[in-house]
Amino acid sequence: MKRLLSILLTLVMLVSVFTACSKKEEVATTETTAVTEAASEATTEAPAAEIAKLIVWGGVPGESGPQSLVDAWNAEHPDIQVEYVRYVNDETGNTKLDTALLSGEQIDLYFTYSVDGMKKRVEGGMMEPLTSYGVEDFAKENIVGGLDGLVTINDALYALPTAKEPVAMMLNKNMLDALNITIPENWTVEQFSEIAKQLTAEVDGKKVYGTSVYY
C-alpha cells in the first residue's frame, strides 16, 4: 500500500513538473511570438521616405513640351516630384498667377514672360532672390549676352533667363525711295512715327500703312 501511494505521489509530482514545463514553454512561445509580431509591426510601420513636391506654373501648354520634361524628371527622381500647372500668358492669366502668389498658394517656381512683369512681381514681394539657392556659379557660366542685367535688381539675381529673342526691323526700300525718304543713322521714336505717317497712303482704293509690328 505504501509502495502504491509512493508511486502515485511520484506520478503526481511528475505530472506537476511536466505541467510546469509545458506552461513555461507556452509562455516562452507566446513571448517569442509577441516579440516576433512586434518586430514585424515595427518593420511594417516604418515611415516611408519623404517625397518633396514642387509646383511649377508656366504659360506653355503642357502637351507642347513641359509635361514630357516633367514626366522624365519624375521618373528619374522619385523623391522629388514636380507638378506642372499651365496659366495663359495674357492679362487674365497673369492676374490669376499674381492672385495665387499673393494668397500664399504653393507655387515653388514659375515662368514670367516680360522684364516689366518680373520687376512688378519683385516690387510686390512675389519673387525671392536666388542668392540663397547657390545658383551664382551656374548663372555666371550660362547667362550670356548681357541678359544677367535684365534679371538682376538691386544687385540681387531674381530669375534665370531661358531664351533670348532677337528683334529686327525690315524696311521697304522701294517705298522709301519713291518718297525720297532717308532713314537717319540713329533715329528716334518720333522720327520713326513721322516716317510711318509719310508712308501711310491710299493705293488702289486700299489703305497701306507705313509700319506693321508682328509679335
Indicate whether 122 and 204 sit together in one domain. no
Number of domains in the chain: 2
Q: Which of 16-20, 68-72, 94-98, 161-165 has the lowest mean pLDDT?
A: 16-20
**Model confidence, pTM:** 0.58
Q: Is 113 part of a structural domain of the chain?
A: yes
Q: Is 121 part of a structural domain of the chain?
A: yes
Indicate whether 150 and 61 sit together in one domain. yes
Determine the structural domain holding residue 85 and report its residue range: 52-157
Q: Is 215 part of a structural domain of the chain?
A: no
Query: Tell me, what CATH number does 97's domain have?
Result: 3.40.190.10
Indicate whether 101 and 145 sit together in one domain. yes
What DSSP character marks residue 186? T
28-67 tens-digit pLDDT: 444 445 445 555 555 556 567 799 999 999 999 999 999 9
Average of pLDDT values for 186-193? 90
The grid coordinates listed for 59 are 504659360
Indicate whether 177 and 150 sit together in one domain. no
Q: Is 64 part of a structural domain of the chain?
A: yes
Q: Indicate whether 76 pLDDT > 60.
A: yes
Q: Indicate whether 20 pLDDT > 90.
A: no
Indicate whether 99 and 188 sit together in one domain. no
| CA–CA gap between residue 122 and residue 154 (Å, rounded) | 11
Q: Which of 17-21, 32-36, 141-145, 211-215 has the lowest mean pLDDT?
A: 17-21
Indicate whether 62 and 109 sit together in one domain. yes
**Burial category of 212 from C-beta neighbours within 10 Å (exposed 0-12, middle 13-18, buried 19 and up):** exposed
